[in-house]
Amino acid sequence: MPDPDVEQPGDDPAVVAAIEYAQKQAGKSNQDFVRALLQQVHGDGLSRRTGAGARSVIPMTPAATAVRSFRIFEDPRYLANARALAQRSQGRTRVIGGARVPSTDFLDCVAVGNDSQWGCTGTLIAPKVVLTAGHCADFATRIFVGSDVTQPGTVVKVKRRVRHPQYHQGKRNDLMVLILEQKVEGVAPRKFARKSLIDQATDGRVIGFGNTEATGSFGYGQKRFVDVPIASPDCRGQIGGEDDNVTYGCDAGLELVAGRPLLARDSCTGDSGGPFYVQSGTQWLLAAATSRATDSSVSNCGDGGVYARVDRYRAWIDAIPGVTLPSL
């Protein structure tokens, strides 16, 4: 039975009504559809974030990036995928408005923190192994299994941290593996998605414990999720003749870019390292880990994010002593 205290997928009538309105106004233009939907919901209180961008509660020093204009709403790939996701959400099979994760779902998504506070997110990928963001390296001494860090849950100490050896060297490689002191009991590690599935994905599900407003200043603690349209699955496309790595600040072949799902829901501060899932049938598989906001973002949260593709790093993860990943 659904938890009455948890928002259920697709249960917001305002979202459904906004999609219906935009569909009637837009005709065949994906850009007109997105514009109409944004105009319909602007200022009605639907702009809170729900989900998981560069994005840890602790201070970090990002690589230098050019100041760029906001571009994701000019990206025809994003516009088409956003409209398709909204249409599926209208049938209440997917979520574009965001919601809290029911306490029995996605247990492999864990909070990551130090001995005094929580500030990042990660994914259990083996019984004693969590994958998170490289920029959380000085912060990760324990993980929390549960749906709300202010409520009872399971806390497991981190025995060893292994950050990618080329982290922020030429490319960002923003990943870190946490070897735990003991196994996490009763939680199935998440399997990785295959390259072909990620390449073909048009949207994904982002989950994290991060902050819930656009400046990324407050709200950390509850596990929340949101479905986001993919703009670039491998950072190898173009917008108006400009390469994705220039537009978005992503690493070609190593990262994907996904945008807010029309209603300002996106990943945010505190979601760093958290999972980006893609769906195969009824199964959700790990495709990427939350890294940072795009270079073209105007706000800290809500304008699109960059995610490190786990399939590109599987060989490195598998080679770490003490790590044995589930088979694909």
What pairing do the DSSP bridges indicate for beta strands 129-132 and 176-180?
antiparallel
Q: Cα–Cα distance between 56 and 273 in angstroms, integer?
A: 8
Looking at residue 235, what DSSP letter applies?
S
C-alpha distances in Å from residue 88, one per residue of 49, 85, 91, 97, 220: 20, 5, 5, 12, 29
Range picked from 57-71, 143-157, 211-225 for highest mean pLDDT:
143-157
pLDDT of residue 163: 97
Q: What is the CATH T-level fold of the domain 109-189, as seen in this structure?
A: Thrombin, subunit H (2.40.10)
* Run of H or E residues at 88: helix 76-90
Confidence class for position 111, pLDDT limits 50, 70, 90? very high
Q: Cα–Cα distance between 325 and 327 in angstroms, integer?
A: 6
Mean residue pLDDT across the chain: 81
Tokens (6 digits) for 164: 């990618």
Q: What is the pLDDT of residues 117-134, one digit of tens each?
A: 898 999 999 999 999 999
231: left (phi over 0), alpha (psi -120 to 50) or beta: alpha
Tokens (6 digits) for 282: 């009824």
Between helix 76-90 and helix 13-26 the angle, nearest 10°, is 130
pLDDT over 80 (residue 301): no
Q: How many helices (H) and strands (E) does the chain have?
A: 6, 15
Name the residue ranges covered by the structural domains of the chain.
109-189
Q: Cα–Cα distance between 109 and 119 in angstroms, integer?
A: 14
User: pTM of the full predicted structure?
Assistant: 0.85
Return the SS3 of 320.
coil
For the chain, give the longest Cα–Cα distance.
56
